[in-house]
Structure 1
Amino acid sequence: MMKKILIADASKVSRILLEKILADTFDIISFSSIAETIDYLKKNSADILISGFELSDGNAFKLAELIKINDILIPILLITSDPKTISKYDVYSYGILDILTRDHIDENIIDEINHIIELYSNIDLSNSFIAAIDDSKTQLYFIENVLKQTKSKYFLFENPREFIQTLPHNKPDICILDVYMDEMDGIEVTKAIRKFPELKNTRILIQTSARENSLLRTLMIIGADDYIIKPYSTEELLLKIINNYKVKKLNDELDQINKELFEKATTDPLTGLYNRRFIIQQLNILIENYKRYLTPFSVIILDIDHFKKINDTYGHDIGDNILISLAKILKDTLRKTDIIGRFGGEEFLCLIPNTPAENLSLIISKLLNNVRNFEYKHNDTVIKFTISIGCCLFTKKYKSDNEIIKCADDMLYKAKNSGRDQAFLHIEGTELNIV
């Protein structure tokens, strides 16, 4: 199916000459007035609009303004005999993509038009968020005109400091910024963006007027991803945006895959807590930190009293729900910095870093009481359960993870043998019973 080109020009001769070049390749519709062009676009679509500056009832700027008011999305090219008489600032501010010189138009324009149509028809940036930072209004208007056609969400900033203030609340997929700006240069802005871990995948596209190798190398080292040499065309910018957006999405997907793989490798599938292998790894990290910095930590082992009886009475599904409920109690009771894992069966292991010995009894007492106060409701039955706890404060006498775990395990069995629903805490040779 042939692509449709709309030509708007007051000069019949100009329309005929342009049609002669394009007619074999495109479906051509032409008008001499703004009114006819707008009326057509309200009812029909076209792939691109080529407009002369003069129309029978106004000029190209008025046409572009009405296209914007009527919320019509179509790439616009301006054709003129003397581009020097028209301000690029005005051209871009009205949403026109580029200026074509009438005397230079030949068969090569077919490739240019095809390229623009192909770019706009094959991209989907509707879910993207792009920020452009440039202290030149003319350049911002040019970028905006390109972004409008992509249906992307975008923000424009003349002042880079105002842009920085929006971070990291706003998380752009791509930042297009100029190297030289009065308020803050591109190097400073790039450094500011890279300070936010949430923006590590945000692509930074640098605009520069020359291929200054040392400057570009510095920008890449500090976190820029790509550059574009000014002045550049609509197609160049679109291609840069498309390619960088693809890379951004691929990096996001890779992060998500890695996160899921990490969770599968480290998480107990039933409770959502860490699994035995991972929590032992974390324990060894805490041991190494203690050896190097004397950072205190404690190890807690706990399990559910008479758990086999719960399974035998209510079934394994209810038993699993009790384990899930206990996992939630542990997460709600302990701090976010504490490391909680399922050690095996109904047994849980908790690592409590940076907690003074005198505070451990309060933590353990709170755990015991929170479990005692919990009720699991199944149909008309209320199920209550208790836990037993063993805890040891790590000191220099422990040489390995096995030794500190054995200490906590010994304290757990002491709690079990003393009647359950209680805890034993071992601190530097002293045992404290908590009920």
Structure 2
Amino acid sequence: MRKKILLIEDSPIQLKSIELTLSKLEHEIFTATNAIEGIELVYQTVPDLIISDIIMPEINGYQLCRLLKNDDVIKKIPIILLTQLNEKLDSFWALKAGADCFITKSNNQEEFLSQVTNFLRGAETISEEERQQIIKDKKSENKDLQTRINNLLDQSLIESTIINEFRNLSEFIYSTRILSKELFSLAYSLVDFNVACIFFNERDDKKKKFLQLSIQNASVEESVLMDIKKDFFNEIFPDTYKKEESSYDIEIVDALINVHNKAENISEFHSRLVIPIAYANKVIGGIAFYHLKSERLNNNKIFEIIVKELKILMRIKWLYSETKYLAIIDGLTGLYNRRFFQQTLEREFARSKRHKTCLSLAMFDIDHFKKVNDVYGHQFGDKVLAEISKIIKSSLRKTDYIARYGGEEIILILPETTTAQANIPIERIREKIESREFMNGNEAVKITISCGIAEVESDVNTQEELLARTDKALYESKRAGRNKTTIYS
């Protein structure tokens, strides 16, 4: 099928030479000697492919590319940029400007034609009907060329300004609240909304997930905000939200109340947009907008820029949270480390005493672990420790804390749990490990664990006393023959 190719080249000799070369492909060729003339021909012919030189007066190839790629209709047309040079910087800017391909000018005509042919073959075909409709639509806009160029330049300037504003927010990644407030301020200058939501996911899945909210020019009932939370997280985490609803909450970052603009039901928001943001198959956050009036969230170009830049910010924030998380995690087992355990125990013990709630500690020790290492090697010993850690993690609640206490010892903090209640999952874990076969190559190795449990009672005045009782109960399990659970009494 015969295609339309637009060739833009300011050198008359080069223009004629490339045109003659392209004529061998028997496609229809239009030519322009500068970018402005080229833009005019783009709107008059809507070609299947644009081939442009980079170095041209007034508007160069990079700028031409950026201008055309900012037009929502014309941006579909592929652009090849040509240069005499083969510098990496040329290639970098060509691709950043939105070029679909970067080709170095060559005396080898066959190579050039092969590249153009391959590119045309893979490019999206514009039907004649579609082409004529675009030309008709552009004519009906009744804009002269300079106005079109000015509009494209304005769009490009707006986009680069928004991008710069987003990039400046990276300094606030250490504070979710401040970052959210700055983001809402920027978003409100670009988008008209009554409620905006933003969520930054954390690497530590034990942390409560907070939806940051901004209310603008409206009065929204608390029950409606809770429905927005449900609506948002159901879309972001459709498989897990209902099971873990108590782990999610809201935080109002800023609010400009208008009592004459009330929302008493979520159904009163006639414009709604919820956008999950993912990276490497992991949800790293999301953003949402709600407006009481209809058709207020239709500016796709603005949302495209917001989401693109927000994804970069959220990736930076995720990496920051991951760094913090790795500082409290044991590398071998994936459990919390001893330092984090001590900080958590201090907090949970104080809370238990203050609110008079139950708190239990449980300590596991792998039986004859030194012998396992001596007979089968430390590599197998590490494997056993990692597998047992997985079994324990999968058997407990999300509200429980599991840490590697030292060597082969694993310790659990069980908030709002008595020793009688704790004994049920602890025994289940012990029995699961006892019945499991740990494979060392083709050899099945049996492993058992001992456990001690203690709880905060009226005569336990410090966390050290609670820890000592747990340790004593563990010692009793070992003294009684191992592979047992003992409750301190």
Q: TM-score range by the shorter chain?
A: 0.5 to 0.7
Whole-angstrom CA distance in 1 between matches of 2:403 and 2:161: 48
Over residues 317-352 of structure 1, what are the superposed CA-to-partner deviations in whole Å (9 max), with x where a residue is unaligned? 000001011101212322232211110100010112
| Range 71-80 or range 252-261, more displaced | 71-80
1:25 and 2:64 matched = no
Whole-angstrom CA distance in 2 between matches of 1:380 and 1:301: 31
Give 1:143-162 correspondences, 5 Å limit: none
1:262 maps to which residue?
A: 324
How big is the shift at 1:399? Answer: 2.2
- 2:151 is aligned with what amino acid? E
2:176 maps to which residue?
A: none
Q: Aligned match of 1:312 in 374, 379, 396?
A: 374
- Name the CA shift for 1:279/1:337 in 2 (closer, same or farther; >3 Å): same
Over residues 103-147 of structure 1, what are the superposed CA-to-partner deviations in whole Å (9 max), with x where a residue is unaligned? xx48455333444578899999xxxxxxxx99xxxxxxxxxxxxx
2:476 maps to which residue?
A: 414
- Name the CA shift for 1:25/1:354 in 2 (closer, same or farther; >3 Å): same
How big is the shift at 1:185? Answer: 11
Q: Which has the larger radius of gyration?
A: 1
1:332 and 2:394 matched = yes
- Name the CA shift for 1:371/1:69 in 2 (closer, same or farther; >3 Å): farther
Say whether the 8 Å CA contact 1:299–1:404 is kept in structure 2. Answer: yes
Q: Aligned match of 2:358 in 287, 290, 296?
A: 296
How big is the shift at 1:402? Answer: 1.4
Q: Aligned match of 1:111 in 150, 159, 180?
A: 150
In the alignment of these two chains, the number of paired residues is 304
Whole-angstrom CA distance in 2 between matches of 1:400 and 1:116: 65
2:465 maps to which residue?
A: 403
Q: Aligned match of 1:202 in 287, 292, 298?
A: 287
1:281 maps to which residue?
A: 343
1:245 maps to which residue?
A: 307
| Range 247-256 or range 379-388, more displaced | 247-256
How big is the shift at 1:245? Answer: 2.9
Say whether the 8 Å CA contact 1:123–1:242 is kept in structure 2. Answer: no
- Name the CA shift for 1:247/1:203 in 2 (closer, same or farther; >3 Å): farther
Structure 2 length-normalised TM: 0.50
- 2:322 is aligned with what amino acid? E
Whole-angstrom CA distance in 2 between matches of 1:307 and 1:314: 10
- Name the CA shift for 1:199/1:362 in 2 (closer, same or farther; >3 Å): closer
Over residues 189-227 of structure 1, what are the superposed CA-to-partner deviations in whole Å (9 max), with x where a residue is unaligned? 599989x9989751649899xxxxxxxxxxxxxxxxxxx
Structure 1 length-normalised TM: 0.55
Moved over 3 A (4+): 1-4, 28-33, 40-50, 66-80, 105-110, 113-124, 163-172, 179-194, 196-201, 203-208, 240-243
- Name the CA shift for 1:405/1:189 in 2 (closer, same or farther; >3 Å): farther
- 2:149 is aligned with what amino acid? I
1:392 and 2:454 matched = yes
Aligned to 2:334, the other structure's residue is in SS state coil
- Name the CA shift for 1:171/1:347 in 2 (closer, same or farther; >3 Å): closer
- Name the CA shift for 1:305/1:243 in 2 (closer, same or farther; >3 Å): same
Over residues 349-381 of structure 1, what are the superposed CA-to-partner deviations in whole Å (9 max), with x where a residue is unaligned? 011222244333333322221121011011221
How big is the shift at 1:403? Answer: 1.4
How big is the shift at 1:391? Answer: 1.0
- Name the CA shift for 1:396/1:111 in 2 (closer, same or farther; >3 Å): same
Root-mean-square deviation over aligned CA pairs: 5.3
- Name the CA shift for 1:113/1:380 in 2 (closer, same or farther; >3 Å): closer
- Name the CA shift for 1:28/1:389 in 2 (closer, same or farther; >3 Å): closer
Say whether the 8 Å CA contact 2:269–2:292 is kept in structure 1. Answer: no
1:378 and 2:440 matched = yes
Whole-angstrom CA distance in 2 between matches of 1:193 and 1:110: 32
- 1:275 is aligned with what amino acid? N
- Name the CA shift for 1:74/1:207 in 2 (closer, same or farther; >3 Å): farther
How big is the shift at 1:244? Answer: 2.5
Q: Which runs of 5+ in 1 are unaligned?
A: 5-21, 51-65, 81-98, 125-132, 135-160, 173-178, 209-227, 431-435
Whole-angstrom CA distance in 1 between matches of 2:158 and 2:134: 13
- 2:446 is aligned with what amino acid? K
Say whether the 8 Å CA contact 2:272–2:291 is kept in structure 1. Answer: no
Say whether the 8 Å CA contact 1:168–1:199 is kept in structure 2. Answer: no
How big is the shift at 1:422? Answer: 1.3
Aligned to 2:452, the other structure's residue is in SS state strand
Say whether the 8 Å CA contact 1:171–1:199 is kept in structure 2. Answer: no
- Name the CA shift for 1:330/1:207 in 2 (closer, same or farther; >3 Å): closer
Whole-angstrom CA distance in 2 between matches of 1:74 and 1:343: 69
- Name the CA shift for 1:307/1:185 in 2 (closer, same or farther; >3 Å): closer
Over residues 377-404 of structure 1, what are the superposed CA-to-partner deviations in whole Å (9 max), with x where a residue is unaligned? 1122111111111110111322222111
Say whether the 8 Å CA contact 2:268–2:292 is kept in structure 1. Answer: no
- Name the CA shift for 1:74/1:274 in 2 (closer, same or farther; >3 Å): farther
How big is the shift at 1:24? Answer: 6.9
Whole-angstrom CA distance in 2 between matches of 1:256 and 1:308: 39
1:348 maps to which residue?
A: 410
How big is the shift at 1:253? Answer: 1.2
Whole-angstrom CA distance in 1 between matches of 2:156 and 2:380: 61
Whole-angstrom CA distance in 1 between matches of 2:464 and 2:270: 48
| Range 372-381 or range 179-188, more displaced | 179-188
